Amino acid sequence: MRSIPVAATLPLSLLSLFPTVLGAPSESLSDARSREVLAGDLLRRATPNSPSGGYAPATVDCPSEKPTIRDAATLSPSETAWLKKRRVNTLDPMMAFFKLANISDFDAANYVQSNSNNLSIVPNVGIAVSGGGYRALLNGAGFIAAADARTPGSTDAGGIGNLLQASTYLAGLSGGGWLVGSIFANNFSTIPELRDGEDGSSLWKFGDSIIKGPDESGLSILNTAQYWYDIADQVDEKRKAGYGISITDYWGRALSYQLINDRDGGPSYTFSSIADADNFANADTPMPILVADERHPGESIISLNSTVYEFNPWEMGSFDPTVFGFAPMKYVGSNFSNGVVPDNGKCVRGFDQYGYVMGTSSSLFNQILIQAGGADLPDVILDPITSILESVGKDEDDIAEWRPNPFFKYHPDTNGNANTELLTLIDGGEDLQNIPLHPLIQPIRAVDVIFAVDSSADTEHNFPNGTALRASYERSRGDIGNGTKFPAVPDAETFINLGLNQKPTFFGCDTSEFTDNDKDANIPPLIVYVPLTPYSAYSNASTFDPTYPDADRNAFIENGYNVATMGNGTVDAQWPACAACAVLSRSLERTGTDIPETCRSCFQRYCWNGTMDSTPVGEYNPEPILGLTALGAGVSMKAGGLVWGVVGAATVLAIAL
């Protein structure tokens, strides 16, 4: 098996001559200008608004109109009102994205401008970032950096900058949820800002594992023992307040030290506070969504029929026919029964603690704490974890306890957890739907295109082979799909044999597979599948690898940038135009607009046309497309035939052909 690159082979003085599209990996992004930006933006975070002032939820007076569970037949009034602003706010960046893409035989920017008074015509874009631990966070970060107009170089030739600003939704799951959660917990910061952090911060310092803890935590410097004592104290506050504790509490707390730029990982931050941030309230950012699965009592295997839950700034709940309801995120700890808080019931705030939501979506990683054991964890943490394991059993060590169950007595005929006061949620990828597509394929959200960033470890060497897409496709064909549709996708062998997992691939180009002679049929989004593959670094690390030195972290992000841009246009100079054609596809079809020849050519190259090749596959371990670069502190390069190739303002390392 190839290992990830770790050896230094280029001197730092040489590296400094070739700045990357993300800025130089060490001090060059810590200059006076960046420090000024960080001090101004990175420090303005989501709100630490838990009424307890800490990690524990707290009982509060109910508002005059008590919170209720709403039916999922519509979008929430909050999302509906927000969308009216957001769709308008995507117009200018979408036009900028189209101008950069330069579809030579079609004025896409003018198409958007001409239809700006009819937003049902303007493309509605979503981005979904898969799970896969830190591998997924870092690869996804590279994609987001490439799509973000604020990243230096992203709007140069070969770039896809402004795609993020033109998007309506940004969904994450497990490791991808860490990325999405961290971006919004830190004031929608850019990837270079998150990567480089600031003095005295443990933000994105992945060189120290979660077990060891940070060298520094926001305003404080800790040793390992003090770090775990602080976490134990925080979780104990929740226990003393009368709430059940799961291993996910400890996992989410530890995770937050790396992802939230505040002292002790911001124990009083809530996920619902995102809705109060000015940039989100003004619809200047996409809407973040995290995903988890439901586990029924006594269930050990999670199937495709499991209920999928989403967390957004206003609500948590599910569109699935089992629950088909949403609870107000701000009050999820309240004593709901049959959809209402009884007259004598209490209202609670702070249960939606930010790290706990991220931990719920990634509860599979409770295993990191369990496997650490007594050799690495102090008794103050080991003892309660051992007690929890003895209580729930090894088959349920990955659960997050949501007690009281917001959906208690709600839809009892279909809701398998309706009669239990405990709602058990788990990692959103445990049903194999490791890309959070579920919230974005709901017809009511009318998304036209989803950029699906897949960092799944489906193969022996931790590369994706379309398993997540197949799971979503199979699920859509059953009753649990509840009217959602999904494009057909081939088997794993075809993905590998046809190279569909080594380049972006479009699924659902031919909409006749959905209509069946019904012109009014629901047409699902076009899926732009963007799989992890080596361009400039072997970023196929193990899902449970807990430690990433800065050199590897930076190289993994850079590889993700190259994946998103196809080597900044060096592999296919028309890739930005083809990505733009994918964004336009559903809209052009709705309006009966002739498909430009450029787009026809793109669709021929990138659309899966139904061809199958199920020949058995042996070892799958692809070669790097550009050759290995030394983008971190000198990551090992592939030997032989290396040249520096300059594209626009970006410098990339390419294999001489």
Report how far Cα 234 is from the mean position of its chain's Cα atoms: 26
Tell me, what amino acid is at 420?
A: T
d(CA 239, CA 245): 6
Quick check: 28 pLDDT over 70?
A: no
Quick check: 374 pLDDT over 90?
A: no
pLDDT, tens digit (0-9, with 9 covering 90-100), for 101-152? 999 999 999 999 999 999 999 999 999 999 999 999 999 999 999 999 999 9
Contact (Cβ atoms closer than 8 angstroms) between residue 389 and residue 383? no
Nearest residue to 229 via CA among 243, 245, 213: 213
Taking the C-alpha atoms of 549, 554, 558 and 559 in order, what is their torsion angle to the nearest 10 degrees?
A: 0
Tokens 């999302």 found at: 79
Residue 499: partners with Cβ closer than 8 Å, 6 or more residues away:
none
Residue 199: partners with Cβ closer than 8 Å, 6 or more residues away:
none
Mean pLDDT computed over 263-272 = 95
Residue 655: partners with Cβ closer than 8 Å, 6 or more residues away:
624, 626, 627, 638, 641, 642, 643
Mean pLDDT computed over 27-39 = 36
Q: Helices 379-392 & 366-376, crossing angle to 10 degrees?
A: 130
Tokens 């003095």 found at: 199
Cis, peptide link before residue 412, omega less than 30° from 0: no
Report the alpha-carbon angle 403-409-413, nearest 5. Answer: 130
Length of the chain: 657
d(CA 561, CA 535): 9
Report how far Cα 83 is from the mean position of its chain's Cα atoms: 20
Report the alpha-carbon angle 215-221-225, nearest 5. Answer: 75
Q: Phi/psi of residue 237, each to 5°? A: -60, -40
Position 517 confidence tier, pLDDT thresholds 50, 70, 90: low
User: Which tokens in the block code for residue 386?
Assistant: 């051992």
Average pLDDT of the chain, as a whole number: 87
Quick check: 32 pLDDT over 50?
A: no
Quick check: 526 pLDDT over 60?
A: yes
Tokens 């040489």 found at: 14
pLDDT, tens digit (0-9, with 9 covering 90-100), for 284-296? 999 999 999 999 8
- Percent of the chain exceeding pLDDT 70 equals 85
Residue 611: partners with Cβ closer than 8 Å, 6 or more residues away:
490, 494, 498
Pairing of strands 325-328, 347-349: unpaired
d(CA 472, CA 432): 8
pLDDT, tens digit (0-9, with 9 covering 90-100), for 591-619? 999 999 999 999 999 999 999 999 999 99
SS (H, E, C) 183-227: HHHCCCCCHHHHHHCCCCCCCCCCCCCCCCCCCEECCEECCHHHH
d(CA 43, CA 218): 10
User: How high is the pLDDT of residue 31?
Assistant: 36
Tokens 């996804």 found at: 140
Mean pLDDT computed over 459-475 = 97
d(CA 76, CA 90): 20
Position 18 confidence tier, pLDDT thresholds 50, 70, 90: very low
How many other β-carbons are positioned within 10 Å of the β-carbon of residue 12?
Answer: 14
d(CA 549, CA 556): 11
d(CA 248, CA 333): 16
pLDDT, tens digit (0-9, with 9 covering 90-100), for 77-95? 999 999 999 999 999 999 9
User: How high is the pLDDT of residue 481?
Assistant: 92
Cβ neighbourhood burial of 220 (10 Å; 0-12, 13-18, 19+): middle
Which helix (DSSP H) or strand (DSSP E) does residue 651 occupy?
strand 650-655
Cβ neighbourhood burial of 518 (10 Å; 0-12, 13-18, 19+): exposed
Mean pLDDT computed over 333-357 = 96
Position 209 confidence tier, pLDDT thresholds 50, 70, 90: very high
CATH classification number, 12-655, choose in 3.30.70.270, 3.40.190.290, 3.40.190.10, 3.40.1090.10: 3.40.1090.10
Quick check: 15 pLDDT over 70?
A: no
Report how far Cα 578 is from the mean position of its chain's Cα atoms: 23
User: How high is the pLDDT of residue 656?
Assistant: 21
User: How high is the pLDDT of residue 46?
Assistant: 58
User: Which tokens in the block code for residue 540?
Assistant: 């196929």
Quick check: 10 pLDDT over 60?
A: no
Position 22 confidence tier, pLDDT thresholds 50, 70, 90: low
Quick check: 586 pLDDT over 70?
A: yes
Contact (Cβ atoms closer than 8 angstroms) between residue 93 and residue 112? no
- Percent of the chain exceeding pLDDT 90 equals 77
DSSP state of 271: G
DSSP states of 543-568 as a string?
A: TT-----HHHHHHHHHHHHHHHHTTT
Quick check: 358 pLDDT over 70?
A: yes
d(CA 52, CA 613): 58
How many other β-carbons are positioned within 10 Å of the β-carbon of residue 363?
Answer: 27
d(CA 96, CA 112): 10
Check residues 4 and 551 and name the one with the higher pLDDT. 551
Quick check: 38 pLDDT over 90?
A: no
Mean pLDDT computed over 265-292 = 97
Position 14 confidence tier, pLDDT thresholds 50, 70, 90: very low
Quick check: 520 pLDDT over 70?
A: no
User: Which tokens in the block code for residue 159?
Assistant: 């770039």
Position 568 confidence tier, pLDDT thresholds 50, 70, 90: very high
User: How high is the pLDDT of residue 35?
Assistant: 36
User: Which tokens in the block code for residue 339?
Assistant: 């959809």
Of the candidate ranges 73-77, 176-180, 245-249, 650-654, the one whose mean pLDDT is the lowest: 650-654
User: How high is the pLDDT of residue 505?
Assistant: 98
